[in-house]
Structure 1
Amino acid sequence: MTILQAVLLGVTYWLAIGNLPFVGLWSLQRPLVCGLVAGFILGDPIKGAVVGGTINLVYLGFMSAGGSMPADMAIAGILGTTYAIVGGIDAQTAMAIAVPIGIIGTIVWYLRMTFDSIFVHMADKYVENGEYNKIWKANVLYPQIMAFFMTVIPCTLAAYYGGAYIQSALNLLSGRVLTVFQIIGGLMPALGIGITLMYIFKGESKIFLFLGFLLAVYSKLSLLPLGMISLIVAIIYVQVSSNNNKVAIEEED
């Protein structure tokens, strides 16, 4: 890995959690997406997508409420994919390594949230002085500059130096320890899917879960037609529910 590639990985991490328009928390932050980008940077986009998608399974039920960040899935996807490509490890082992990295990555998030409070007071002073044209600096410019250095530097160092030593570490852990990592990595997708099912298996959505399961098992259709059928059913359900609500409101009136 070159230092340029490591810096590009760091910039990818900044874009993934920087809350910039059209990129970030709802797109690039997902391990599937940032893993693919990391794969392009490192010259192996196919493995990047495979490893990123595997790591993404752990975070299917990911939720961030009230500004909390239970895990940093962007850094998990980027570094997990990086170590998989540079170290030549499989997706399950990379996932077992990436998940603890994601937990450690929350330190960056909470440091950002802590120091961002400084810019709030700065914006208050701009308002008090009537300098409304400078509020954007406290709201956008300064926080993004701080986020750039807080994300690019640690991710670049972790990618450049960590990638160089990951193969040596794996050789040291080869045998039973590495097998344990592979087993743990194989179990983690079940955890992500299980958390997602907890949210799905509520209220009226239960019937659609069983219907989709039966259709997938016995119809032998591929994912694309199954996805289209699911979309059509969802649209019809929303339309019927909306019409029923309108009728109920009209009857009450």
Structure 2
Amino acid sequence: MLEIWQIAAVTLLAFLVPIDKYGLTIGLRWPIITGLILGFILGDMKTALFIGGTLELMALGVTSIAGSSVPEYSTAAIIAIVIASQTGQSMEAGLALGLPVAMLGVQFDVVAKIINGFIVRKSQIYANAGQFARMKRILLLGPVIMGLTAAIPVLLAITLGAAAIKEVLAVMPAWFSNGLTIAGRVLPAVGIALLLNYMPVKRYFQYLLAGFFFVAWLNVPILGVTAVGLIAAIHYYSKNDAAPASATTNEILDDE
């Protein structure tokens, strides 16, 4: 059972996530950072980082373009981490249960943007009338509304308590629980696939194949693959930077 200060801290974190997404941008919008902070709050760093990292992978290929609304994966991470940590369910099950909240966050985000549209128009009226104090005050409602889109569902979810969530999980049939677990394990692959759509995979396919070879066959940890990738990237860009310099030197010698 969460203590009052933990409920307040989790709700505050959820409130700050959308504000960071559209304003501060200090990192709270990323599920892995949200998971790290929640790990300290709940005292369950393993669960928090696992779920946060998994949702981070899924969110890599998803971005909001031109004001479009996308799933709130950080909000999903908060609820999923709390569920998994407080109910004793598997991390995959908590992850899958938190995803509907991410999808619901899209609807909340749309409603908040509609409301903020009215606020902006009202602030413009105040600005045209020279009432700048009122303009500043009404514009402060924008971040508050965005923060509530995440804080309200998170607060409702965690105040139901672990007992209520356990009862819901208990009545779920085994096939459904197993499905949630499988879905939780598949989701990172979905995020990676979405990310690859934005990358020049055909041009650098050999590096992708090498990374897969290291992980699938040699069982090299992700950190080791990252180090090899960093070395390859440094070599590639150093080689490309040296080529124009050599061409320039040859041109100078030819002129002489």
TM-score by length of 1: 0.81
Alpha-carbon distance between aligned partners in 1 of 2:117 and 2:4, rounded to the nearest angstrom: 33
Alignment of 1:134-213 (within 5 A): 136-139=136-139, 141-161=140-160, 163-200=162-199, 202-213=201-212
SS in 2 for 1:204: coil
Find out whether 1:74 has 2:74 as its counterpart.
yes
Give the conservation status (yes or no) of the 8 Å contact 1:2–1:160: no
Counterpart AA for 2:195: T
SS in 2 for 1:65: coil
How far did residue 212 of structure 1 move?
Answer: 3.1
Structure 1: gaps spanning 5 or more residues? none
The residue that corresponds to 1:34 in the other structure is 34
Find out whether 1:95 has 2:95 as its counterpart.
yes
Give the conservation status (yes or no) of the 8 Å contact 2:54–2:187: no
Q: When the two structures are aligned, how many residues end up with a matched partner?
A: 246
Counterpart AA for 2:107: I
Structure 2: gaps spanning 5 or more residues? 252-256
Alpha-carbon distance between aligned partners in 1 of 2:243 and 2:126, rounded to the nearest angstrom: 51
SS in 2 for 1:200: coil
Give the conservation status (yes or no) of the 8 Å contact 1:39–1:48: yes
CA separation of 1:245/1:206 partners in 2, compared to 1, >3 Å: closer, same or farther?
farther
The residue that corresponds to 1:106 in the other structure is 106
The residue that corresponds to 2:254 in the other structure is none
CA RMSD, 1 decimal: 3.1
CA separation of 1:81/1:65 partners in 2, compared to 1, >3 Å: closer, same or farther?
same
Alpha-carbon distance between aligned partners in 2 of 1:77 and 1:161, rounded to the nearest angstrom: 17
TM-score by length of 2: 0.80
How far did residue 16 of structure 1 move?
Answer: 1.1
Residue number among 18, 21, 24 corresponding to 1:21 in the alignment: 24
Alpha-carbon distance between aligned partners in 1 of 2:245 and 2:117, rounded to the nearest angstrom: 45
Alignment of 1:194-233 (within 5 A): 194-200=193-199, 202-216=201-215, 221-233=220-232
Counterpart AA for 2:105: G
The residue that corresponds to 1:124 in the other structure is 124
How far did residue 84 of structure 1 move?
Answer: 0.5
CA separation of 1:238/1:64 partners in 2, compared to 1, >3 Å: closer, same or farther?
farther
Give the conservation status (yes or no) of the 8 Å contact 1:79–1:98: yes
Give the conservation status (yes or no) of the 8 Å contact 2:83–2:165: yes
How far did residue 76 of structure 1 move?
Answer: 0.7
Give the conservation status (yes or no) of the 8 Å contact 1:56–1:77: no
How far did residue 86 of structure 1 move?
Answer: 1.0
SS in 2 for 1:67: coil
Give the conservation status (yes or no) of the 8 Å contact 1:57–1:189: yes
Counterpart AA for 1:5: Q
